[in-house]
Amino acid sequence: MTTGTNFWDHSIWSFVVTLTILLLAMLFAAILRQRFAFIRRFMIPSSVLGGFLILIVGFIVQQITGKPLFDRSLLETLTYHGLGLGFAAMSLRNLDRQSKEYKGDSFRTSLSVVSSYLIQGIIGLLLSLLLFYLIGSFFGSGMILPMGYGQGPGQAYNWGRTYENLYGFEDGTSFGLTVAAMGFIASSIGGIIYLNRMRKQGLLAEREDPQHQAVTPQQIQGDNEIPVSDSIDKLTVQLALVFLSYLLAYLTMRGLNSLIETGVLGKFGVNTLQPLIWGFNFLFSTLFGILVKTVFRLLQKKGVIKQHFTNTFMQDRIAGFMFDVMVVASIAAINLSAFTHAQFVLPLALMCIGGAVLTYIYLNYFCRKLFPDYRHEAFLSLYGMLTGTASTGVILLREADPRFATPAANNLVYQQGYAILFGAPLMLLMGFGAQKPVNAWITLGVMAVMLVILNFIAFHRKKK
C-alpha cells in the first residue's frame, strides 16, 4: 500500500515543466537575437520575445488539442512573485553615493517619472470613461495604463486581476498583461524613431557589435565579503536574504489584511486599502530589503558578524532572473480569446497608442529643458522605462551611452525614493477610481491637479 506523493503525478512536475518551457523560450529568443541583426535592431528583450513566442505556440496547441499549454494560474503566480522577489533583490544591492554635481537630477527624474504616470493615467481614464458611455466598456480600465506602461507586467497583472475580481472588469487580468506587453512594443518603436533621428543629426556614432562586459573578480568577491564557497554557497546566502525580505513583507501584508478583516476600517479598508496592500507587494519587499541590509550592516559594525553578507553583482543577477521570468510568464498568460470583444480591443488600442505618443512628447520636452547636458540619454532611459521596464530603458540608453558616461543610468536608481513619495497619492487612487464612474471623474481631476503641481515644482526649481 503506497501513501504520500507519487513522483509520476502531474502535480509534481507541472511547475518544473512550466518553468523549463519559459526558460527555453527565452534561450531560443536570445539565439534568434544573436543570429539575426534585424531582430536586434528592434531592441526587444529576450524575455519579451520569448513570451510572444510562447503565446503563439500556446494558441496553436490549444486550437489543435482543445487544451491550454499552461495552467494560467501558475503563470500569473510567477508574474506576481517575480515582481516582489525582484525588487527585494534590487533593494539589497550596495550602491555608491550619488555625486553632488548631479544629485538634484535624481529628484527631477522622479518628477518626470510620476508626471508620466499621471499623463498615462489621465489619457487612459479619459478614454475609458468616454468609451464607457459609448460602447459600455469598463469605465476604470484606463487606470491600468500607468501600471502596465509605467510599472510593468507585475503591477499590470496585480491591478488587472483586482479590477476583474472586485469591480467586475471582464478579462481585466488579460487587459493588464496586454497593456504591459504593448508597452514593450511602444518602447521599441519609440526608441528606434528617436535613435534614427539622432543618427541623422550626427549625434549617434555607428557602433560595432556590442562587446560583452568582463566581470572582474572584485565584483564577485568584494573586500571583506563572505567567501564564494564555504560551508554555504555565497549565492545561497543572497537568495536567503531575498526570501527573508519577501517573507517579512508577506507577514506585514498579512497582518494589515487581518486588521482590515476586523471591519475597523469599514468599506474603505476592504475596497481601497486591501487591494492596494496586496497589489504593492513589491513596495513592501523593497522596504524590508532595505531594512534587512541595514540590520546586517549594524550587526557588522557591532562585531556580531565579521564580513559583508550582501553582494551587488549576485543580487543584480537574482533580480534579472526574477524579472525575466516575470516578463515571459506575464505575456504567456494573456488570454487571446478576449481579443474577440470590441469592449476589450478598442480601449486597449486607443490607450496604448495615446499613452505612447503623449509619453514620448512629454519626456522629449522635459529632458530638453531640465537635462540639457545629456537630454538624449535621459530621454532614452526614461522613455524605455516608462513604457517598458527599467531593463528596456537601459537597453535604449546603451545605444547612445554604452559606457554609462552620463548620469542617466544612475538617475533611474536614485529617483526611486522620491518617486515613491510623490507617487503615493496615485497609488491610493488606484483602488478608489475603479469603484464607480463618479470616483473615476474625481480621480481624473485629482491627477490633473497633481500633474500641474509636480511640473510647477520641476520647472521652477532651478539648478544651483
Residues 181 and 154: their CA atoms lie apart, in Å, by: 11
> What Å distances lie between residue 267 and 16, 73, 165, 263, 335, CA to CA?
41, 28, 16, 8, 31
Tell me what pLDDT residue 464 has: 46
Q: How many residues does the chain have?
A: 464
Q: Which of 360, 418, 325, 317 is nearest to 197 (CA)?
A: 360
Most confident of 97-106, 316-325, 338-347: 316-325
Share of the chain above pLDDT 70, in %: 92
For 48-80, how does the pLDDT look when each residue is reduced to its tens digit (9 = 90+)? 899 999 999 999 998 899 888 888 889 989 989
Residue 63: other Cβ atoms inside 10 A: 8
pLDDT digits (tens, 9 = 90+) for 109-127: 999 999 999 999 999 999 9
Task: Give residue 186's pLDDT.
Answer: 92
In Å, how far are 237, 250, 273 from 226, measured between CA atoms? 9, 28, 41
Please provide the average confidence, as pLDDT, over all residues in the chain: 87
Could you tell me the pTM of the whole model? 0.80
Find the mean pLDDT for residues 358-365.
97
Percent of the chain that is helix, strand, coil (3-state, to 5): 75, 0, 20
What pLDDT is stored for residue 216 in this prediction? 63
Rounded alpha-carbon distances, angstroms, from residue 322 to 51, 154, 242, 372 = 14, 11, 11, 35
Coil vs helix vs strand at 57? helix
Across 20-24, 63-67, 104-108, the highest mean pLDDT is recorded for 20-24
How is the chain split into domains, by residue range? 16-94+104-202+323-459
Question: How confident is the model over 383-388, as a mean pLDDT?
Answer: 91
- Is the confidence at residue 7, as pLDDT, over 70? yes
Coil, helix or strand for 229? strand
Confidence at 4, pLDDT banded by 50, 70, 90 = low
Which residue in the block uniquely carries the three cell numbers 543629426? Answer: 201
Going by the DSSP 8-state scheme, the letter that residue 138 receives in this structure is: -
C-alpha cell at 130: 468616454
